[in-house]
Chains A and B, each alone.
Chain A
């Protein structure tokens, strides 16, 4: 009777360990918690200014700079030229800069883009779905995501040209 007893013991202990690990893991890395630095960046599915729907997976394999902005946020408006300049510099080297407009209508964004000469892709998040899944608080917030999809750095607040440049360089090297 010894052997079957032992395997029953092992099965029960394994089941307990499995449930235990699962239970502890779900509370520690809570299921609806927002991803942090070092974790995989959240997905999104948003309509772009080009009229097409874009998802995170589209940019797989590319280093990504994801900038959350709005025309109603002065620092966001101020940092736009820096982002545009960096897009011009880095886009040929496999870096994508994506601007996600938060909560505004198409016309406002269109007008703004036309006025400021922004050329990098702009997506719209009118219902703040991406804001929720990325856990964006104050704006601007910029996520630096590596080619493998991990968050390398999160910048809350205005960016300037130099730090942005350094940050992108670090991101490209982080591959």
Chain B
């Protein structure tokens, strides 16, 4: 955070002779307070050990100004607050992405009224993919990187270059202070206390009558490790938009037909679909007797294939190699190398694929021969015994147009119909036309027999008929799966893991330092920690006790602060 309003034009050279960078609060070498503000503090502000942040300069240029903007924690907090507000706005109405197939320009108005329409117009119906939201995330990321760099490097330097002798005012203005008399020579006393402090887990360095003891310095890096984790997390979230890293599609899989999964070389086959319904007895009271059909369990027997050859060739069938099989149920998706297929929905309407009707003499019932008719991709000519059947028209969804002529109502095989020209023995030379509806329901609906009688000018001499169910091939059901790929997930976990390590470093360990100096028989001790002052005081009191100095823990607390008046 910026240091008050006063411009800090000051002499940065300390009395000890060390030249400090602009913005230094406590001399890098001896710890003497340099600024008026620091000088006025009864207890020193030890944040970042009083070193200057990297960005603090006397004449910042444009790059420095940008850098300074992001290096400010105040700015970072505003950015986080803005993001918080922004993301909560996105939760007022459901986001566009939660719907499968809507036109948002009308949906929000219809569903949520004028307010919903305004919500849509403001672009809040896709908050999390709006430019401003992503920009905020990027700015938070920038702030994380720059704030960290701006502080961690000077802090690292300061902590690794600590000098042992410190200025008297630095010691006496620590939060934990002890002053007393010692009888012996300063250097000897220091040598005597050294092993005692070491036993408490400190690394101890001495310089004549001065000493510096320090432990768990690494906990100071905790926040920065956390930041690295957060940055990885953020990058992973932003990187999800890279092609191939993220997919979330709902697809239909008719039984026994491998379906290509877009933008991958995978094909998935629905090898069978099972559904079990609740019986009337199993149903809850409120559903009983209402003719409700409630599925109890449904399962897709899925086979995942990889395309090996002819993948993009429109003329040839792709060559598929089986990769894995899995029975997909709700909450038990197929998972293959990050590609997941979740059960989503199903449709039990059978879809006719091929029929193999027999050409029969209408009168005698004599069977002439069988033809195999593909509903979606019929051939031009068929041969049934001595008879030739030429397909003149085919329909997938037969209907009658405005002018009374037969038309196709849709490309879906709802009501397939075929018009043949049949030629052969006993038939007129130019042949007879014959309409064939493979589905029984359509035969009746469109009155196949009457049409054919009319076409033949009397009773049709031959007819096409399916003799057994073995001659019909159909897909019993269609399963709908939600295909998901999220390759950014491992990075998100890594980010979280690193962040967790940072949190543990910062929370469960404390950086403690003890400085002491002996000037003409006077011992001055100052100590600093970033938390758990109580523990530090206890530790020092125990150390001093072993040196035969009895100190009450509480009296170690520096009373030069606010408590002074109350005494």
Judged by a CB distance under 8 angstroms, whether B380 is at the interface is yes
Interface residues of A in 133-161 (CB under 8 A from B): none
A116 surroundings in chain B (CB, below 8 A): none
Given A13-B67, A19-B238, A47-B315, A108 and B377 contact (CB-CB distance below 8 Å):
no
Judged by a CB distance under 8 angstroms, whether B507 is at the interface is no
Q: How far is the CB of A77 from chain B (nearest CB, A)?
A: 8
Q: Are A72 and B408 in contact (CB under 8 A)?
A: yes
CA distance A70 to B397 in the complex (A): 12
How many of chain B's residues touch chain A, expressed as a range? 35 or more
Q: Are A27 and B129 in contact (CB under 8 A)?
A: yes
B555 surroundings in chain A (CB, below 8 A): none
Closest to B380 in A: A107
Partner of A74, one of B235, B396, B402: B402
Given A13-B63, A19-B141, A72-B397, A103 and B411 contact (CB-CB distance below 8 Å):
yes
A6 surroundings in chain B (CB, below 8 A): 63
Q: Are A9 and B138 in contact (CB under 8 A)?
A: no
Q: Are A23 and B408 in contact (CB under 8 A)?
A: no
A102 surroundings in chain B (CB, below 8 A): 411
Closest to B313 in A: A53
Q: How far is the CB of A29 from chain B (nearest CB, A)?
A: 10
Judged by a CB distance under 8 angstroms, whether A12 is at the interface is yes
Binds A, one of B142-150, B196-204, B330-338: B142-150
Mark each residue of chain B from 308 to 320: 1 if its CB lies under 8 Å from any CB of chain A, else 0. Answer: 0000101100000
Q: Are A16 and B315 in contact (CB under 8 A)?
A: no
Q: Which of B64, B235, B410 has the most CB of A within 10 A?
A: B410
Given A74-B402, A103-B411, A105-B378, A30 and B394 contact (CB-CB distance below 8 Å):
no
Q: Are A24 and B131 in contact (CB under 8 A)?
A: yes
Given A5-B54, A111-B393, A104 and B241 contact (CB-CB distance below 8 Å):
no
Mark each residue of chain B from 374 to 403: 1 if its CB lies under 8 Å from any CB of chain A, else 0. Answer: 001110100000000001111111000110
Given A26-B241, A105-B376, A45 and B401 contact (CB-CB distance below 8 Å):
no
How many of chain A's residues touch chain B, expressed as a range? 35 or more
Partner of B394, one of A10, A16, A105: A105
Interface residues of A in 78-129 (CB under 8 A from B): 102-108, 111, 127
CA distance A170 to B534 in the complex (A): 83
Q: Are B407 and A71 in contact (CB under 8 A)?
A: yes
Judged by a CB distance under 8 angstroms, whether B409 is at the interface is yes
Judged by a CB distance under 8 angstroms, whether B339 is at the interface is no
Q: Are B145 and A23 in contact (CB under 8 A)?
A: no
Judged by a CB distance under 8 angstroms, whether A31 is at the interface is yes
Q: Are B401 and A74 in contact (CB under 8 A)?
A: yes
Given A20-B142, A27-B130, A53-B315, A72 and B407 contact (CB-CB distance below 8 Å):
yes
Q: Which of B314, B377, B392 has the most CB of A within 10 A?
A: B314
Judged by a CB distance under 8 angstroms, whether B66 is at the interface is yes
Q: Are A28 and B408 in contact (CB under 8 A)?
A: no
B410 surroundings in chain A (CB, below 8 A): 72
B315 surroundings in chain A (CB, below 8 A): 47, 53
Closest to B137 in A: A23
CA distance A38 to B315 in the complex (A): 33
Judged by a CB distance under 8 angstroms, whether A46 is at the interface is yes
Judged by a CB distance under 8 angstroms, whether B134 is at the interface is yes
CA distance A106 to B411 in the complex (A): 12
Given A104-B408, A107-B378, A12 and B63 contact (CB-CB distance below 8 Å):
no
Judged by a CB distance under 8 angstroms, whether B135 is at the interface is yes
Q: How far is the CB of A149 from chain B (nearest CB, A)?
A: 21
Given A6-B63, A72-B397, A72-B408, A24 and B134 contact (CB-CB distance below 8 Å):
yes
Partner of A23, one of B146, B238, B407: B238
Mark each residue of chain B from 44 to 75: 1 if its CB lies under 8 Å from any CB of chain A, else 0. Answer: 00000000001000000001101100000000
A111 surroundings in chain B (CB, below 8 A): 392-394
Q: How far is the CB of A32 from chain B (nearest CB, A)?
A: 8
B149 surroundings in chain A (CB, below 8 A): 12
Q: Are A70 and B411 in contact (CB under 8 A)?
A: yes
Judged by a CB distance under 8 angstroms, whether B243 is at the interface is yes
Given A24-B134, A71-B408, A107-B380, A13 and B66 contact (CB-CB distance below 8 Å):
yes
A47 surroundings in chain B (CB, below 8 A): 314-315
Closest to A48 in B: B314
Q: How far is the CB of A35 from chain B (nearest CB, A)?
A: 16
A12 surroundings in chain B (CB, below 8 A): 145-146, 149
Q: Are B54 and A107 in contact (CB under 8 A)?
A: no
Q: How far is the CB of A126 from chain B (nearest CB, A)?
A: 8
CA distance A27 to B135 in the complex (A): 10
Partner of A9, one of B63, B139, B235: B63
Q: Are B145 and A16 in contact (CB under 8 A)?
A: yes
Q: Are B409 and A24 in contact (CB under 8 A)?
A: no
CA distance A105 to B397 in the complex (A): 12
Closest to B412 in A: A103
B142 surroundings in chain A (CB, below 8 A): 16, 20
Please name 12 pairs of A and B residues whose Cβ atoms are closer than 8 Å in the assembled complex, sorted by A: A12-B146, A20-B139, A20-B142, A23-B134, A23-B241, A27-B241, A71-B408, A74-B402, A74-B407, A105-B377, A111-B394, A127-B260
Which 6 A/B pairs are nearest by Cβ-Cβ distance? A103-B411, A20-B138, A26-B241, A72-B408, A23-B238, A27-B129
